[in-house]
A and B are shown apart, each in its own frame.
Chain A
């Protein structure tokens, strides 16, 4: 009698333990020892601002703290070169796209190390569509078998072959047709570096920059 009871008790314990352990993926991060040391008191990247204290609306600026997280127009990041001077076309217009042909690459010719870096940036950001060999056949298109429905441009033949650096910069900065803007992923300098890298691969002479680009924020 007694041993039967013990056996039942044991089995029930085992079953309960099994049920409580096999609950699938862990969806709960759990708790921490000292929340005020674990969670930042300052606003961290991507943190949501307290709408009782902050506003993104200028008209509430005297009631709350006005902050919309966008830099003042014309702001130049530390160590960055000046912005691409052409603005984006309005829908249906190609005026600025045409005007961008006149803009030249402000970077001096890249040294060996910079070419390596530009190549890395190209492979990470462009190669996925335009192909590691610039033949317009990256893994996303894959000769029409990839998920991307449209053939990316082959960068080594026309129209890209005869495209001036400024117009390439326009397309990379604002996007063109089914290509999106890369301004949020690549800095102005990185975009110009990639363009010089592509033009090198196209066998073009590098644009001769009139003077080395001055770092506008460098301390004198």
Chain B
């Protein structure tokens, strides 16, 4: 009678044991990762030499094939280095920096960390995401319309000729006097319309050229290093002000010096994101661009140190105002609270930056006429007592830049 129940109970226990073992094993592997990230990852990476050596394949080097020696090293690196020449040499290689001691680690925890390191080292590199969607340029219909217009014009011309021929035939038949047809170059109508057409076209292009002279909208120079704002400010969320902090401090939104690049690129020496497609359709070798930065800064990624003095990168200025215009960034960003993108476009989506606005005077003035300044609780505008009173009394609801003299000539030209 009891036999089946016993069997059931036994199999249940067996199942429980197996499940708990499985879970336990999983927890263990995760522990290794968690322990590594919390304690080791500040100085060590698995595949890369950083503040400390790369840990991949650690067991095949020096004395580390012996787990006991690893325990001894982790528990007290200084003492172990005195007994082992390999460890002493390692310390010398890293400028005498000794690893932090972790006496609190049990041997099991160290095992878990090493298991995690081995698992990471044996992981195959992930295949890059297949076929990123190609950015197809938006189809432009102006060419089609142009051809259509020309075809219609030709048809119209032919119809005119047909019309005049028919008229001549008709006149002949009805016995009216017929004038010999004039060749096109002596036909006054054709000459007059030709001149008018030339005048219009010439005038259009002359005016366009004259207005555009000195304006650089859409200017997109090739920079000395292919620096993608999309990768930095877009995907990796680096704040604009991290590199261009001067925008809040003064006239210039400074161009970062090489050491600002190196703040991150001491560690980041390879690009792992989606492939970057250049303007000419070819694929960018992003790692080669990072190497260019290293040659400018004199950084040697093999030894993680500067091997020679750096030299500045000669970035090409895109948004340039003529010298006779005064412009101050901090006035707009700090006092005005204007976003970078208002004038520079969606920089975070641009690989190569191009000039977004035409930076013409009309463009400036338009914005000054329509934009309401942040008047409330802004110490910068506290002297405009009359406007503050008017707002309080409900006489006006907002103050534009023009109201406070933002369209006066001398504000920007002096």
Binding site for B on A (CB under 8 A): 3, 6-7, 10-11, 13-14, 17-18, 24-33, 37-41, 45-46, 91-92, 123-125, 128-129, 139-140, 143-144, 146-153, 177-182, 184-186
Q: How far is the CB of A49 from chain B (nearest CB, A)?
A: 12
Contact: A25 with B324, CB < 8 Å?
Answer: no
Find B221's partner among A27, A139, A152, A182 (CB 8 Å cutoff): A27
In the A-B complex, the 3 residue pairs with the smallest Cβ-Cβ separation, listed nearest first, are: A151-B41, A180-B263, A38-B322
Chain A residue nearest to B279 in the complex (CB):
A25
Query: Given A6-B157, A30-B216, A178-B267, are A124 and B239 neighbors across the interface (CB < 8 Å)?
Result: yes
Q: Does B17 contact A (CB under 8 A)?
A: no
Chain B: interface size category? 35 or more
Interface members, chain B 249-273 (any A CB < 8 Å): 252, 254-255, 257, 259-260, 262-264, 266-268, 271-273
Interface members, chain B 211-255 (any A CB < 8 Å): 212-216, 218-222, 236-239, 241-242, 245, 252, 254-255
Contact: B222 with A27, CB < 8 Å?
Answer: yes
Q: Does B280 contact A (CB under 8 A)?
A: yes
- A17 vs B149: C-alpha distance when bound (angstroms): 14
Report the stretch among B45-53, B65-73, B340-348, B402-410 that lies at the interface.
Answer: B45-53
A41 / chain B contacts, CB cutoff of 8 Å? 323
Find B259's partner among A18, A26, A180, A186 (CB 8 Å cutoff): A180
Chain A residue nearest to B263 in the complex (CB):
A180
Contact: B213 with A24, CB < 8 Å?
Answer: no
Query: Given A24-B279, A144-B41, are A18 and B143 neighbors across the interface (CB < 8 Å)?
Result: yes
A150 / chain B contacts, CB cutoff of 8 Å? 41-45, 50-51, 267
Binding site for A on B (CB under 8 A): 37-38, 41-45, 48, 50-51, 95-97, 143, 146-147, 150-151, 153-154, 157-158, 161, 212-216, 218-222, 236-239, 241-242, 245, 252, 254-255, 257, 259-260, 262-264, 266-268, 271-273, 279-280, 317, 320, 322-324, 352, 354
Contact: A37 with B267, CB < 8 Å?
Answer: no
Query: Given A32-B213, A32-B214, A125-B242, are A182 and B263 neighbors across the interface (CB < 8 Å)?
Result: yes
Contact: B268 with A37, CB < 8 Å?
Answer: no
B254 / chain A contacts, CB cutoff of 8 Å? 45
Contact: B150 with A25, CB < 8 Å?
Answer: no
Chain A residue nearest to B251 in the complex (CB):
A45
Find A148's partner among B97, B267, B317 (CB 8 Å cutoff): B267
For the complex with contacts A3-B154, A178-B266, 18 further pairs of A-B residues with Cβ separation under 8 Å are: A6-B157, A29-B219, A32-B322, A37-B323, A45-B254, A123-B239, A124-B242, A124-B245, A125-B239, A147-B236, A150-B45, A151-B37, A153-B42, A178-B51, A180-B262, A181-B259, A184-B257, A185-B245
Contact: A26 with B96, CB < 8 Å?
Answer: no
A10 / chain B contacts, CB cutoff of 8 Å? 150-151, 153-154
Contact: B146 with A17, CB < 8 Å?
Answer: yes
Q: How far is the CB of B362 from chain A (nearest CB, A)?
A: 16
Q: How far is the CB of A77 from chain B (nearest CB, A)?
A: 11
Contact: B220 with A27, CB < 8 Å?
Answer: yes
Contact: A40 with B323, CB < 8 Å?
Answer: yes
- A129 vs B8: C-alpha distance when bound (angstroms): 55
- A153 vs B59: C-alpha distance when bound (angstroms): 27
Contact: B43 with A177, CB < 8 Å?
Answer: yes
A128 / chain B contacts, CB cutoff of 8 Å? 236-239, 242
Contact: A140 with B257, CB < 8 Å?
Answer: no
A40 / chain B contacts, CB cutoff of 8 Å? 323
